[in-house]
Amino acid sequence: MSEETPHFRPSIKTQKSNETIERSQTEGQGGETHQHAPDDHRLTTAQGIPVSDNQNSLKAGPRGPTLLEDFHFREKMFHFDHERIPERVVHARGYGARGYFETTDPIPELTSAHLLQEKGRKVPAFVRFSTVAGNKGSMDLARDARGFAVKLYTEEGNWDIVGNNIPVFFIQDAMKFPDLVHSVKEAPDRAFPQAQSAHDNFWDFISLMPEAMHMIMWTMSDRGIPRSFRFMEGFGVHTFRFVNAEGDSTFVKFHWKPKQGLQSVLWDEAVKINGADPDFHRRDLWDAIQRGDYPEWELGVQVFDDAFADQFDFDVLDATKLIPEEDVPVRIIGRLVLDSVVDNFFAETEQVAFCTQNIVPGIDFTNDPLLQGRNFSYLDTQIKRLGGPNFTHIPVNAPRCPFAHFQQDGHMAMHNPAGRANYEPNSWKDGGPRADAEAGFRSYPEEISGEKRKARGELFADHYSQARQFYQSQTKVEQTHLADALIFELSKVETLEIRERVVAHLPNIDGDLAQTVADGLGFEDVPEAHAPRREVVGGLTKSDALSILKNGPDSFQGRKLGILVTDGIDGELLQSLKDAVQEAGGVVEIVAPAIGGIKTSDGKRVPADQKIDGGPSVLYDAVAVMASKDGVAKLKSVHPAKGFAADAFAHAKFIALAGDAAELFRAAGVTDFDDGVFELADRKGAAEFIEACKALRYWDRVK
């Protein structure tokens, strides 16, 4: 038996009728009249039965009780009552897009995976980005890890690389996952805070789990508040195996490297963006794809053998550890491009089911205890969320290659075995599929021995060394942000003992960090450090790959300039600036006192994209202000306009000023301009300003 999968984008077609359109009067609730639509647009029940009245339920008389036989009403209410499926316990707030993966550097010597055998092989892909802690209705810019889940529809079945934008995790064993999630979610007695880790329960748990300190360095760093999905890395987190055609195995870690470079926001920006546009990340991805600026990542692999694993200072099965790229370089083998938005959010993004167990021949698992637990948990979760075992029949989850098996029945079954045979082995002539000993998936025959007991490897006990390496690999600016994040989060913790227990971990990571956080929390002294369970490894080298600022964009492509304008500005100068942004591959939004826009000095109308109240400077990567004398006089009396200027300067953005715009900044309290502020006078000045914007921000302003 062989079945082809349903179309990824199912369409519902109704049979057109040759009848002429009839007009009829149907009395609605308010006595209004309705005209029948053409047959190909007429309303029907889910069974295809045409509906005559969608305004009134069937009653025994105009004022009588509703009748049970009104099957349209019952079906409509039944579906409405059940249209919400349980949201994901974690990663509930997500956003997805379609695209493709293409192999650019085949590696048949490492893996037999069909996809990776030849240069140029392409397969469809679906990617879902998400926050971890918040519910579906939470905001995009929460400080949190981000899910980075990729489903590749390969010729050998679906391969899911279910990772995060951070290469390590809080815990080493899946046994602790429910506790971790319970601690970071809203407290059960009060049901808040939502999508935040700045509360007692989370930090109480962390203070008692030193294995989490490496991940804490990442989440408290700028990695926890990325600029957008397009400007963040993805990681497979765990160590997997490659297995080649000869059965030889190597270890592998997966990396997604954004071609756009890395970029994050500041915490003050994140707070204000959540107020101005809680869908900021969603909108950014949607807009980028719609305008043809397709996000792209390179797939890189770190490949190493048993000899490296044996001499490595840490256990490669420990999900709280990474392998520095300086020790094992990342080899780029493919590219991922997102070039299509979904047709329906629920059908695809909400119903897509990622499972770490979904691997293809040539890929295999290791004994990472967190990975082993995820393999169990994800499948169990999908059955609960999506109503039963047939969630693979949903188009977004169905493989694109032929599939055949003897699984049958269950809720919402779309594919059942055809014919008499629904078991194997059988002796029937058309008895269905059989196992393929040559091409079928085989687990790597790793030798396993040891006592059966609850335990972890000895090297798992080092909880601080890589946390120290990460912190010391950050630039001074990034270290300041990390310390500020810890101070902010712990300032929301009401219990002094919890704050002290957390800070007592920090001397094992960095003495200056511990002192800074202790000072920020008002401690007289740094609490006595917790005794490490295993001696901290000294002399680990700094890794530039761990810093965002050392891996930022090298152009303005895909980034956004906000231009605040008033009536009476130089229209040609405005066009020069817009041209410079377009040539750099960026995007412009016009912000004005009124959504109707402004008139330039020569009387031309310039429509606005945002009214100043809804277009604060935090939404943009860089800003320009172009104001006439009369225009700036009006802006100076508008609080959001002064906030636009003050925030842009405080957030170290590159700024361009034209006309009398400097007066707005002075009114906002900015009196000393620096080299990050440009005077915009002509086309050359516009080009120089956009060239400077490649550097992300003018960090000298906040040193």
Residue 615: give its domain's CATH number: 3.40.50.880
> Residue 55: inside a domain, yes or no?
no
59-68, 399-408, 528-537: least confident range: 59-68
> Residue 527: inside a domain, yes or no?
yes
40-46: average pLDDT: 78
Beta bridge partners of 164: 147, 235
Q: Is the pLDDT of residue 516 over 50?
A: yes
C-alpha–C-alpha distance, residues 369 and 466, integer Å: 19
Burial state string for 92-114 with b = 16 or more CB within 10 A and e = fewer than 16: bbbbbbbbbbbbeebbeebbbbb
Kindly give, in sequence order, each residue whose CB lies less than 8 Å from that of residue 671, ignoring residues fewer than 6 positions away. none
Q: Is the pLDDT of residue 7 over 50?
A: no
Among residues 418, 417, 412, which one has the least CA distance to residue 397? 412
**Looking at the structure, do residues 529 and 393 belong to the same domain, yes or no?**
no
> Residue 633: inside a domain, yes or no?
yes
Structure tokens at 253: 């870690």
- Place 393 in a pLDDT band, splitting at 50, 70 and 90: very high
Reported as a single tens digit per residue, the pLDDT across 214-248 is: 999 999 999 999 999 999 999 999 999 999 999 99
Q: Is the pLDDT of residue 131 over 50?
A: yes
The answer to whether 208 touches 170, Cβ cutoff 8 Å, is no
> Residue 358: inside a domain, yes or no?
yes
Domain that holds residue 245: 94-397
Q: Is the pLDDT of residue 282 over 60?
A: yes
- Place 4 in a pLDDT band, splitting at 50, 70 and 90: very low
Q: Is the pLDDT of residue 428 over 60?
A: yes
Q: Is the pLDDT of residue 21 over 50?
A: no
> Residue 4: inside a domain, yes or no?
no
> Residue 660: inside a domain, yes or no?
yes
**Looking at the structure, do residues 276 and 295 belong to the same domain, yes or no?**
yes
Please state, for a pLDDT cut of 90, what percent of the chain lies above it: 80
**Looking at the structure, do residues 106 and 185 belong to the same domain, yes or no?**
yes
**Looking at the structure, do residues 618 and 656 belong to the same domain, yes or no?**
yes
**Looking at the structure, do residues 595 and 619 belong to the same domain, yes or no?**
yes
Look at the chain and report how many structural domains it folds into.
3
Q: Is the pLDDT of residue 30 over 80?
A: no
C-alpha–C-alpha distance, residues 586 and 154, integer Å: 34
**Looking at the structure, do residues 499 and 611 belong to the same domain, yes or no?**
no
**Looking at the structure, do residues 567 and 679 belong to the same domain, yes or no?**
yes
Among residues 476, 478, 405, which one has the least CA distance to residue 218? 478
Last residue in a domain, options 524, 549, 574 = 549
Cis geometry, peptide bond prior to residue 193 (ω within 30 degrees of 0): yes
Last residue in a domain, options 397, 422, 453 = 397
Q: In terms of pLDDT, which residue wins out, 559 or 5?
A: 559
Residue 159: CATH number of its domain: 2.40.180.10
Q: Which amino acid type is present at position 204?
A: D
Q: pLDDT averaged over the chain?
A: 92
Reported as a single tens digit per residue, the pLDDT across 456-514 is: 999 999 999 999 999 999 999 999 999 999 999 999 999 999 999 999 999 999 999 99
**Looking at the structure, do residues 587 and 540 belong to the same domain, yes or no?**
no
**Looking at the structure, do residues 367 and 392 belong to the same domain, yes or no?**
yes
Q: Is the pLDDT of residue 28 over 70?
A: no
Q: Which of 78-82, 338-342, 535-539 has the highest mean pLDDT?
A: 338-342
Structure tokens at 440: 């079928």
pLDDT of residue 451: 84
29-38: average pLDDT: 40
Last residue in a domain, options 549, 565, 594 = 549
The answer to whether 609 touches 317, Cβ cutoff 8 Å, is no
31-35, 188-192, 321-325, 631-635: least confident range: 31-35
Q: Is the pLDDT of residue 34 over 50?
A: no
**Looking at the structure, do residues 604 and 660 belong to the same domain, yes or no?**
yes
pLDDT of residue 8: 31
SS (H, E, C) 573-636: HHHHHHHHHHHCCCEEEEEECCCCCEECCCCCEECCCEEHHHCCHHHCCEEEEEECHHHHHHHC
C-alpha–C-alpha distance, residues 683 and 349, integer Å: 44
Catalytic residues: 91, 164
pLDDT of residue 40: 58
> Residue 393: inside a domain, yes or no?
yes
pLDDT of residue 39: 52
**Looking at the structure, do residues 268 and 246 belong to the same domain, yes or no?**
yes
> Residue 3: inside a domain, yes or no?
no
**Looking at the structure, do residues 231 and 376 belong to the same domain, yes or no?**
yes
660-682: average pLDDT: 96
